[in-house]
Chains A and B, each alone.
Chain A
């Protein structure tokens, strides 16, 4: 069974903190990786794709370690608006369907 595992949290951090989320995936043949964010009872929204060399988008940095089948997301200078559930997502199959982790809940406090 193909799985994506995440620490469910919650992570409760003060504004301005740096927080890191980790994720592992079971299928070594997986090719594409993403972080989505999901607000309560809303749809998943793409935060960023994760590239083999690692990539950064403003305060967000994603890393991929294919040998360990491990993906990470680092958020610097946390904002109140960063409060959400962060979903680790892996693309599977020949038709590109997505396998989601259960998500890690982040709560940023003033």
Chain B
């Protein structure tokens, strides 16, 4: 069964540094998403991406965040200057439809630890 893959599985970074989290969505999917989950809290939507542009973003997704699909397969999330509160699991998801009962498929996440 096709999978969403994410790298790295764990990233440890000093506060203020830039990080790039990488995702390879399922190949025929068109809609891409990033979510985060702070330890012990619920999964929160960050951003959706379609047709090479951001289609929706939450209030969490401020100017420190950006997304890109540089080569038609990878989908990246960049955090420019990390803060302690950015420590969380970051999940990438993809779907072949944004509506109806088509589910989003999640990657196994990147655990980001900011020191």
A-to-B contact residues, CB < 8 Å: 31-32, 34, 41-46, 49, 51, 87, 91, 93-103
Contact = CB atoms under 8 A, between A and B. Distances in A.
Nearest to B41: A102
B105 A95 contact: no
13 contacts: A41-B89, A41-B111, A44-B106, A93-B56, A94-B98, A96-B48, A96-B95, A96-B104, A97-B58, A98-B43, A100-B42, A102-B42, A103-B42
With most chain A CB atoms within 10 A of its CB, the pick from B35, B45, B95, B101 is: B101
With most chain B CB atoms within 10 A of its CB, the pick from A32, A46, A49, A98 is: A98
A95 B50 contact: yes
Dominant secondary structure of chain A at its interface with chain B: loop
Interface residues of B, number: 30
Given A95-B50, A95-B55, A98-B45, A45 B106 contact: yes
Given A32-B99, A44-B43, A98 B104 contact: yes
A50 to B, nearest CB: 8
Interface of B: 31, 33, 35, 41-45, 48, 50, 55-56, 58, 89, 91, 93, 95, 97-101, 103-109, 111
A45 B105 CA distance: 7
Given A31-B99, A96-B31, A100-B44, A46 B50 contact: no
B43 A87 contact: yes
Query: Which 5 pairs, one residue from A and one from B, show the smallest C-beta to C-beta distance?
Result: A96-B98, A100-B43, A49-B101, A95-B48, A95-B56
Contacts of A97: 33, 45, 48, 56, 58
A101 B91 CA distance: 16
A91 B99 CA distance: 8
Contacts of A99: 45
A45 to B, nearest CB: 7
